[in-house]
Chain A
Amino acid sequence: MDRKIRVLIAKPGLDGHDRGAKTVATVLRDAGMEVIYSGLHQTPEMIAEAALQEDVDVVGLSILSGAHMSLFPRVRAALEERGMNDVLLTGGGIIPEDDMQALEGDGYSKLFGPGTPTDSIVGWIKNTMAERWEKEGASDA
């Protein structure tokens, strides 16, 4: 089975600085993932809808606008509304440490602050997905 990790990279809200988002998208592609880049000015609903249509494993948000405490939870809520509770939600941008910790409240959201080597992001996604697929395989057997 030729299974690939599918990732949606999106920029929610009004901020248009997409260097980080595009760089991460490129790095994830280089790591063998299929990356759907949905671009700028996305609302939480658009992001969740795209995530559903694309059946992604991961949603990555880039937020430099200071609006992360509003946007992350809203994207999470929009995903849950659509029954997509399993999607890994991650992201980065200009987010102070204590806000990151607050947002990482549940086990499957993880945020990566400025200066994080992109390897860490790749590693976290691959390890988490590998564990998950192993569990699925085990339960199907």
Chain B
Amino acid sequence: MVDTQHDPRALWEAALDGARTRDGNFTTLSGTPLKPLYTPEDAEVDYAEDLGYPGQFPYTRGVHPTMYRGRLWTMRQFAGFGTAAQTNERFRYLLNHGQTGLSTAFDFPTLMGYDSDDELSVGEVGKVGVAISSLADMQTLFDQIPLDQVSTSMTINGPAPVMLAFYIACGERQGVPAEKLRGTVQNDILKEYQAQHAWLVPPEPALRMITDVMGHCAERAPHFNTISISGYHIREAGSTAAQELAFTLANGMDYVRRGIEAGMDVDTFAPRLSFFFDSHLDFFEEISKFRAARRIWARKMRDTFGAKNPKSWMLRFHTQTAGVSLTAQQPENNIVRTAIEALAAVLGGTQSLHTNSMDETLSLPTEKAVKIALRTQQIIAEEHEVAHVADPLAGSYFVEAETNRLEAEAEAYFEEIERRGGVVPCIEAGYIQKEIHRSAVQYQRAIESGSKKVVGVNTYTEGEGSPEIDLHKIDPGVEREQRERLATLRSERDGAAVTRELEAVREACGNGDNLLERFIAAAHADCTLGEICAVLREAFGKYKEPKIL
């Protein structure tokens, strides 16, 4: 019998009952109701089973024993625009200012597998990223940047295997063998069908190309991450944190399954799978999400897939602060949002981090804006004393409760996806896309009704008028310059070699040979990205998305 006069909890609850509360929803960003207080009863954890030590199964507390004492996270700012030469300049600027890894943004034609001079590329060349149509362009991109001395991430999906081939061939031309290459190629096609929509061919042939990449790199480029299994795009498309977690890991498990079905030993390719998450506005939910991700993945890899190598159990991830949290109104506020989101990623144990620039709702970032974004990470690392202790929020009743909750919600989704036949059938039926769309619409309604506040947009607004900041402008001559480069390339290269290599690609599509190897040979023969992708589209067909609305 609880003595309500003296039991502290009962007293506190009674006090709550009587008290005024301010207006507002007390939920996570994803809409999950939050308690006013979390106590030990809310955080059911067995330290050894559920938390453990950094660098040990289940890795909830981090994938490395020393975490940031051993080495800080990589500060890896996404960059790319215009021509390879222009991006090369920005790369070198960032490296000179203390960036520790490169991350390449490509333009839409490149992302969709079209050359800069394709008629579908008109108006889009160099606008949201760098235009790379050939090995020559790739060489220019890394001019004065030795590939054995940097780690490079390439954010591309549909044509990723071809771009990776260009990178490997570029290394070869620099005299750097593939074994020395470090970096990541995003190459996560499942989330493309679900969220970002930059696909090249339908799912089955796309997944075959991915297993070809996994197989080739396991032997020849063992330090290169072959997939960055991404939740960022799923989140940015409107999903909740639980959905981001669930769909990302479900995709990851699908890749693992396919690697095994392709005849590979899970431990040969799993260590090179990496992840990429969003760090959104809800500070505690995000930290909990990162911890849940590590724990779930470790358990699945060891217990479901039977991986033996601890490296196969470790979920290593890159984080980007949430683009959708930025506002066009009062853009300087975005610096604050990004800083807090970056902090969440650090407290969540990310291996590498990109911080958004304040002007990105309006255009690609200016040099000044991207420098502030970089400095944000540096200040967090150097000034706020948060990188000395691994997994500092462990043991918080709130954070452990949230970690458990997110894990449980993810498991529910895994079951549902299984019930519906797996990831690809869910994509074809539009299930995942519809879940994401529904969350997106809910969020929009919450903002419009005012129940979700956004400073500068529906609260603390400052009226109409364009923000007074300088914006990055793309040089209009880029498209013309690329056309000229391509014209020169096409006229100077060995046409017979091009035809021969493209034919070899076509054959490999049909006979199951490793496509990445064929792409590397084609790259050396100066076949363009568009030419190779055209062969793939012809051989494998074009993908058409299902009806979602």
Contacts and interface: CB of A to CB of B under 8 A. Distances in A.
Is B one of A's binding partners? yes
Interface of A: 13-19, 22-23, 25-27, 37, 39-40, 43, 64-67, 69-71, 74, 94, 96-98, 113-115, 117-119
A71 B123 contact: yes
A69 B127 CA distance: 11
A96 to B, nearest CB: 5
Interface string B420-461: 000000000000000001001100100110000010111000
Contacts of B549: 22, 25-26, 37
Name the residue among A26, A64, A67 with the largest chain B CB count within 10 angstroms.
A67
A123 to B, nearest CB: 12
A-B CB proximity, top 5 nearest: A16-B197, A70-B123, A66-B127, A97-B466, A14-B108
B381 interface: no
Given A14-B114, A26-B549, 7 more contacts: A14-B109, A65-B128, A67-B127, A94-B361, A96-B362, A115-B329, A118-B448
A22 B124 contact: no
Contacts of A39: 545
Contacts, number: 99
Contacts of A115: 327-329, 361, 454, 456-457
The contact size tier of chain B is: 35 or more
A118 to B, nearest CB: 6
B466 A98 contact: yes
Nearest to B118: A14
Contacts of A69: 123
A15 B363 CA distance: 15
A37 B238 CA distance: 18
A37 B363 CA distance: 26
B439 to A, nearest CB: 10
Contacts of A98: 466
Contacts of A71: 123
Interface of B: 108-109, 111-112, 114, 120-124, 127-128, 192, 196-199, 236-238, 324, 327-329, 361-364, 437, 440-441, 444, 447-448, 454, 456-458, 466-467, 471, 474, 545, 548-549
Contacts of B111: 14
Which secondary structure dominates chain B's binding surface? Answer: loop
B466 A66 contact: no
B548 A13 contact: no
A67 B112 CA distance: 15
Name the residue among A19, A25, A37 with the largest chain B CB count within 10 angstroms.
A19
Contacts of B545: 39-40
Contacts of A64: 128
Given A13-B123, A65-B128, A118-B448, A23 B474 contact: no
A27 B444 contact: yes
Contacts of B123: 13, 67, 69-71, 74
A26 to B, nearest CB: 5
Contacts of A67: 108, 123-124, 127
A37 B111 CA distance: 23
Contacts of A118: 444, 448
Contacts of B471: 96
A16 B198 contact: yes
Nearest to B199: A16
Given A94-B362, A115-B328, A23 B444 contact: yes
Contacts of A40: 197, 545
Given A26-B441, A65-B124, A65-B128, A17 B108 contact: no
Nearest to B445: A27
B489 to A, nearest CB: 22
Nearest to B108: A14
